[in-house]
RNA sequence: GGAGGCGUCGCCUAGUCCGGUCGAUGGCGCCCGCCUGCUAAGCGGGUUGGGGUCUUAAAGCCCCUCGGGGGUUCAAAUCCCCCCGCCUCCGCCA
């Protein structure tokens, strides 16, 4: 949710941002008009209500005929107050309806354009030249089968498309990655958190996932629960309707959770393997900080993501996601994409977003500084999304015989430095 | 799932039976001041959050806020209904 003050004082900036995202700039004018109506309605209601209260007090002490006269007036007022209150509430709802449709204002340095208009900020590592090594790389599905690490057939049998089992070394790989990620996060000062994966509507709405992203969210109709697509949701809502001590910021949490995604509208996309699945586990970094520190914190989150991938010796690049491809809450987003040899391209493995005060305003998360309160900034970043990192490890570290080299920090949990075909 | 109890402006708490003087009591904590070799104690004052209005800004004024929503009433923390959360006991169950 955007600050009404910004909307009133600098509507052009919001219009420009909407346009850069490929969204409707006229929403700004609709919001301003709704705000105007709301304020008029509130003023009307409050005037009547003030009169009702002051007359009510006189009724209490008045006697006889005077009391009867007052009662006649207040009875009439009572109905008027109810009507005015209803129209004030209607106007409030109309405004928040428009306000909820407006996306966050993008950072000025974010590249303008659609999905393909990102800019590449960094390349780390070099993709292996399998041709020079003299063999054709296997993809992660074949490797997973060969190693007894991934079972997509039975995943489909039991739960349908886009479900899978991690078996044997695959399961151990997940545990090793989670351990490594949590250890790194704790060392960096994050509080590790195991979070709920079912949340009530306000948490989902507050984090901005019920807008354009709504079709990708699982909803349990009978109980009105949503399944989170990321622990970002439960972590952001953790402090909802709270006033935080500004001196205690930043608060950094590492969420450990399963994530659920409907992947609607992706039929035919990544149907093979475990790149795009309905359920996976993920460690997510989440920060509450002062708005003026958000940009610097965003860089720190990105640095922690790189630190993690560096240890796994994966070639990757960092991209600055273009305005048209940002989530509604994000002002800026950096993705890290790991090299996937059998696809011959880089694929997203992490994503970090600066949501500035957008989520905090919706969720009622403020900080106290001096004698006033104001919204905090929230940021999130993937430390590890298990399936995609497993894909990257298997494919990048494979050897001609189908065995896979295990990066050093994972060897203890795996109990070996090479995963051998079964 | 069943029965009962509870939910008040950071924490604790009075008030709810019997509607108006609650524009919410007191304590703790915190902030400011006085006193004071220093500290503590003592004394005085302040201390929910949101919105509207006016203003360069502040102050002021007004409205809302007693878990949430609805109802009764001229008037609701207080009466009625629904919901949510917490606690205790019973049942069931990893």
Does pLDDT of A24 surpass 80? yes
Cα distance between residue A60 and residue A70, in whole Å: 10
Element housing A352 (H / E): strand A345-354
Task: Name the average pLDDT for chain A.
Answer: 92
pLDDT at A118: 96
Does pLDDT of A66 surpass 90? no
Does pLDDT of A372 surpass 80? no
Cα distance between residue A387 and residue A161, in whole Å: 15
Strand A191-194: give its sheet, edge to edge: A119-124, A316-320, A332-340, A345-354, A377-385, A279-289, A251-260, A191-194
Average pLDDT for A309-335: 96
User: ipTM strictly over 0.90?
Assistant: no
pLDDT in tens, A91-138: 888 898 899 899 999 999 999 999 999 999 999 999 999 999 999 999
pLDDT at A355: 96
Name the CA dihedral angle for A196, A284, A350, A282, rounded to a multiple of 10 degrees. Answer: -50
Nucleotide whose C1' lies closest to the alpha carbon of residue A372: B49
Nucleotide whose C1' lies closest to the alpha carbon of residue A51: B62
As a whole number of Å, the end-to-end CA separation of chain A is: 53
pLDDT at A368: 82
Does A388 qualify as catalytic in the annotation? yes
Cα distance between residue A339 and residue A312, in whole Å: 12
What is the DSSP secondary structure assignment for residue A269, as one 8-state letter? S
Does pLDDT of A82 surpass 80? yes
Does pLDDT of A212 surpass 80? no
Q: In this structure, what token pair is assigned to residue A249?
A: 């910021």
Average pLDDT for A411-420: 96
Does pLDDT of A319 surpass 80? yes
- Under the banding of pLDDT at 50, 70 and 90, the label for residue A86 is confident
Q: Is the bond preceding residue A250 a cis peptide, omega within 30 degrees?
A: yes
Between CA A371 and C1' B45 the distance (Å) reads 17
User: Which of the residue ranges A12-21, A91-100, A140-149, A392-401 would you say has the lowest mean pLDDT?
Assistant: A91-100
- Under the banding of pLDDT at 50, 70 and 90, the label for residue A374 is confident
Between CA A226 and C1' B68 the distance (Å) reads 20
A278 touches strand B (CB under 7 A): no
A95 touches strand B (CB under 7 A): no
Say which residue, A67 or A351, is predicted with more confidence.
A351
pLDDT at A223: 80
Does A159 qualify as catalytic in the annotation? no
Average pLDDT for A336-364: 95
Cα distance between residue A420 and residue A149, in whole Å: 10
pLDDT at A291: 92
Distance of CA A54 to the CA centre of its chain: 48
- Residue A334 DSSP SS3: strand
Does pLDDT of A190 surpass 80? yes
A366 touches strand B (CB under 7 A): yes
Q: Does residue A71 contact residue A58 with C-beta atoms inside 8 Å?
A: no
- Pairing of β A191-194 and β A251-260: parallel
Closest by CA position to A362, among listed A104, A41, A106: A104
Q: Does residue A139 contact residue A273 with C-beta atoms inside 8 Å?
A: yes
Distance of CA A310 to the CA centre of its chain: 24
pLDDT in tens, A224-283: 889 999 999 999 999 988 888 888 889 999 999 999 999 887 777 888 999 999 999 999
A39 touches strand B (CB under 7 A): yes
Q: Does residue A289 contact residue A250 with C-beta atoms inside 8 Å?
A: yes
């Amino acid at each position: 949710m955007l600050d009404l003050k910004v909307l009133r004082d600098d509507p052009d900036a919001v219009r420009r941002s909407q346009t850069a995202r490929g969204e409707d700039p006229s929403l700004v004018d609709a919001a301003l008009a709704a705000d105007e109506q709301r304020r008029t309605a509130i003023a009307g209601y409050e005037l009547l209500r003030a009169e009702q209260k002051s007359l009510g007090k006189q009724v209490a002490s008045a006697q006889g005929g005077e009391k009867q006269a007052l009662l006649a007036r207040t009875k009439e007022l009572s109905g008027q107050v109810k009507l005015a209150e209803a129209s004030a509430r209607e106007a409030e709802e109309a405004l928040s309806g428009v306000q909820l449709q407006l996306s966050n204002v993008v950072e000025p340095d974010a590249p303008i354009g659609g999905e393909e208009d990102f800019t590449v900020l960094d390349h780390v590592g070099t993709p292996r030249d399998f041709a020079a090594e003299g063999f054709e790389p296997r993809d992660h599905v074949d490797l997973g089968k060969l190693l007894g690490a991934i079972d997509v057939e039975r995943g489909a049998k039991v739960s349908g498309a886009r479900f899978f089992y991690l078996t044997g070394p695959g399961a151990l790989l997940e545990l090793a990655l989670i351990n490594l990620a949590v250890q790194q996060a704790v060392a960096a000062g994050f509080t590790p958190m195991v979070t709920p994966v079912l949340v009530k509507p306000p948490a989902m709405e507050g984090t901005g996932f019920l807008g354009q992203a709504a079709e990708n969210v699982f909803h349990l109709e009978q109980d009105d629960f949503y399944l989170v697509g990321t622990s970002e949701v439960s972590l952001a809502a953790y402090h909802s309707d709270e006033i935080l001590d500004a001196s205690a910021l930043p608060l950094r949490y590492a969420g450990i959770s399963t994530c659920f995604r409907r992947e609607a509208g992706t039929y035919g996309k990544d149907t093979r393997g475990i790149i795009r699945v309905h359920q996976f586990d993920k460690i997510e970094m989440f920060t509450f900080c002062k708005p003026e520190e958000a940009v610097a914190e965003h860089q720190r989150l990105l640095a922690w993501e790189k630190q993690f991938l560096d240890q796994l010796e994966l070639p990757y690049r960092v991209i600055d996601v273009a305005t048209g491809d940002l989530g509604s809450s994000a002002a800026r987003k950096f993705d890290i994409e790991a090299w996937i040899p059998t696809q011959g391209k880089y694929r997203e493995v992490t994503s970090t977003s600066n949501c500035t005060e957008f989520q905090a305003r919706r969720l009622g998360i403020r900080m106290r500084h001096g004698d006033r309160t104001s919204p905090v900034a929230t940021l999130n970043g993937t430390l590890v999304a298990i399936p995609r990192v497993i894909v990257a490890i298997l494919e990048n570290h494979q050897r001609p015989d189908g065995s896979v080299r295990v990066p050093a920090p994972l060897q203890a949990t795996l109990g070996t430095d090479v995963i051998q075909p079964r």
